[in-house]
Chain A
């Protein structure tokens, strides 16, 4: 799966031997691309070792396009498999499961997708693909299925209300993104879910689940010819449509804000952050490597060391940049017993401020680079991980050699670049702080 140049006519033994050698030279999956006759872009990686294939059809149809109906994208995406081409949800799911195939669907802020994992033996493969195609090409959006999903989503929203972490996450996004679509929860609000009509869903589907607004990623044991036919077949029943309109960018925050939400929990969840960076951002590598030192490096980061190792204040303590189409969040977080919130918050914020001011030490930078580059092989060691990377490369238009150049880009980062990028991109006096917990817990237990 890592080197297509090797002749497939080579004998089995020789083939595997050559493949083995090729790894040490070229460890990145080779991505091939083309367009179907309807213009849908296809990204393909040949992975012949296991008799299985993964495919994901990505539509520019994420929650950012919900308009004033948060949850619309997720509801539409979830309903695809609940009735299509006259088949009901039982028949559709049995259509996959009786083959041993797995259907998946996902709706994020930026894009929505459907996916399939199946064995490649016929007729399993052909049948699974036929079923997948039906789901996203001919959905019926049955009324009873909509009402069932609506009720289930409302229960899901209630479930979030008993989780301080989920409440904090929603409040954080709302405070950081204000009027931008990223501010609304992907699964919607009680109000929006209650008022969404079947017509809204059908329109959303018609606008965005179209060939011109789709991408296909295929990773597995199908050869290029098969992959071309699969992609062609998958898009054959999709309306041509057009590409989705551009969306508004994220605005920088104007001022700091602190939000406290009362909750009857033993711990208080603390989230601190701002809008961060986007996919393909010129500051991506300095911010990524820098954050690895600050709070991204698992059990060796500064936040982990200062908050957990030195002070025992929290089980988890971390920070991340989540790059999205527009500036996704920079978030630093911990959870602690409610009577030690003040101490924990101050250690968290002081460490962020100090890092923006002084950046990493030479020693820290070297250690971070060693971890990131030395762990490269682990990032692409399975079909499912490769699929995830290729979806990101495809959707966000990253260069096809993104994975090949990843280590070199990490190696090239300097302390000055990190300091410069952190200073320009994070503004400590405009940080959003969200806390969810019990203010009463600050008193001693009776």
Chain B
């Protein structure tokens, strides 16, 4: 490590020099009278534009019995409005050379089109239309819910690691809705009705619960005028009051074993951690902890020179794969997760011991200056690399805004991460990577013999 120090000093100097030249492109913010928020970022590198409509709804807004309803509704958003027949949305976008799709997460449901810049109004016309005028035909729903179940089989039932992840989340969270899988439990999908979707649509799909994000070769004021023309006349929805569904304090480690036909064991160790607070984008009174946890994640898994690769995949060779991930931005408190597959001849127990050893090290010794500088250099460069994608830039703004933070945090990220000290990293390791916050989930492989069958999740079986 010592040898690297002079290089790193020069590196930092160079990074400091380029920062002023890279003034962040300005984000323009507007709001229509009906409550629709509009964020526009001009990027004139190529004659394209990405348009995304983000709704503040997702699986963390759901409750038992209707899990997966946000995602199922996302599928039905392509199935027709009073003006456009089922499938027409996609046909129109396609004929205009567009790429489109949608995605649902625990905190959001979003729809996007990427188009040549002159076609933005086509996307606006169609998105505005389906914001309030979806028809939700029952015969379409009956087919589409089967598609969703196939999606669940493909993503979860037939993927042992995804299946174990689902159970890990459901075990870690007791009262937080993050215990629900985004795609929903199979038994809820089996019993889902078009009425469930209709009620969900009426409740959440309204301009005052949405954010329109546009990034690309556009002029911000023109985008705003166009948005006003298409979205301006939509009526606002009823204001929604949400019940608070915070996670209760955990009072001891949890452990769960997932037995499933598989070839390889898999281990997940998840610690409850805080996230960036709403309203923290200005001033000096913001919580340093999420940024310290972010740096901690970079120290141990920010590349092939980071600790997990260097010490566990190489070094002791206890792991075939070892990863760490921290969700610093979400609506509710989330997890810091270690996961991995033991190397041949090593057990899940060996892997757990190795992860714990790394955690102890983080709690008892400050990370080195070289490691800190490496993480900071990566954060600075990523900030440049991310500008190579208009889609990614729009994703960042949309996510922050929709989870209840502010897009302004995107501009603060680099500077705040750069301010993190080795002591702060040690402190969050001591405070949060502790057993009382821990859930350990282990995939325990059952033989993959021909007779073995994966039982369907959710207990009810398929309705045929």
Contacts and interface: CB of A to CB of B under 8 A. Distances in A.
Interface string A11-39: 00000100010011001000000000000
B262 interface: yes
- Nearest 10 CB-CB pairings of A with B: A374-B97, A100-B381, A312-B143, A375-B97, A93-B304, A312-B146, A94-B305, A381-B46, A93-B305, A315-B151
B385 A375 contact: no
Given A50-B384, A159-B263, A381-B390, A99 B11 contact: yes
A57 interface: no
A264 B453 contact: yes
Contacts of A367: 91, 94-95
Given A93-B304, A299-B90, A20 B153 contact: no
A162 B262 contact: yes
Contacts of A337: 149-150, 153, 462
A167 to B, nearest CB: 11
B310 A267 contact: no
Contacts of B154: 267, 315-316, 335
19 contacts: A50-B388, A98-B374, A119-B15, A119-B381, A148-B314, A152-B343, A162-B262, A162-B263, A266-B153, A299-B100, A300-B91, A311-B143, A312-B150, A314-B150, A339-B464, A367-B94, A380-B46, A381-B48, A382-B389
B458 interface: no
Interface string A412-442: 0000000000000000000000000010110
A324 B344 CA distance: 35
B98 interface: yes
B82 interface: no
A342 to B, nearest CB: 15
Contact of A51 (B22, B90, B304): B22
B349 interface: no
A444 B464 contact: yes
B456 A266 contact: yes
Interface in B116-173: 116-117, 119, 142-151, 153-154, 157-160
The size bracket of the interface on A is 35 or more
Contacts of A101: 381
Interface in B368-401: 370, 373-374, 377-382, 384-385, 387-390
Interface string A116-136: 011101111001000000000
A378 B94 contact: no
A303 B54 CA distance: 29
B145 to A, nearest CB: 8
Contacts of B313: 148, 152
A336 B389 CA distance: 34
Contacts of A441: 453
Given A20-B44, A24-B47, A27-B46, 10 more contacts: A90-B310, A103-B304, A124-B14, A151-B320, A151-B344, A265-B454, A312-B145, A313-B150, A367-B95, A377-B46
B450 interface: yes
Given A300-B90, A445-B461, A267 B158 contact: yes
B261 interface: yes
B248 interface: no
A148 B432 CA distance: 33
B231 to A, nearest CB: 24
Contacts of A23: 46-47, 217
Given A90-B305, A97-B374, A119-B384, A374 B158 contact: no
A100 B15 contact: yes
Interface centre among A98, A121, A123, A337 (most CB of B within 10 A): A98
B94 A299 contact: yes
B384 A155 contact: no
Given A265-B454, A378-B114, A164 B158 contact: yes
B71 to A, nearest CB: 12
Nearest to A164: B158
Interface centre among B96, B374, B452 (most CB of A within 10 A): B374
A308 interface: yes
B47 A27 contact: yes
Interface stretch (B2-10, B59-67, B206-214, B239-247): B2-10
B23 interface: no
Contact of B116 (A52, A119, A374): A374
A383 B304 contact: no
Nearest to A160: B263
Given A100-B377, A148-B314, A371 B87 contact: no
Nearest to A298: B94
Given A98-B8, A380-B46, A370 B95 contact: yes
A122 B15 CA distance: 9
Given A51-B21, A94-B4, A445-B461, A124 B11 contact: yes
A127 B128 CA distance: 50
Contact of B158 (A1, A265, A314): A265
Interface centre among B22, B264, B370 (most CB of A within 10 A): B264
B302 interface: yes
A70 interface: no
Contact of A162 (B87, B160, B373, B377): B160
B385 A117 contact: yes
Contacts of B8: 98
A384 interface: yes
B410 to A, nearest CB: 17
B46 A314 contact: no
Contacts of B18: 51, 119, 121
A310 interface: yes
Contact of A264 (B317, B344, B454, B461): B454
B458 to A, nearest CB: 12
Interface string A276-299: 000000000000000000000111
Nearest to B141: A312
Interface string B332-363: 00000000010110000000000000000000
Nearest to A441: B453
Interface centre among A49, A312, A371 (most CB of B within 10 A): A312
Given A90-B314, A370-B95, A382 B264 contact: no
A309 interface: yes
A373 interface: yes
Nearest to B14: A121
B294 to A, nearest CB: 16
Interface in B266-294: none
B346 to A, nearest CB: 10
Given A158-B264, A264-B453, A378-B116, A98 B370 contact: yes
Interface in A61-91: 81, 89-90
B371 to A, nearest CB: 9
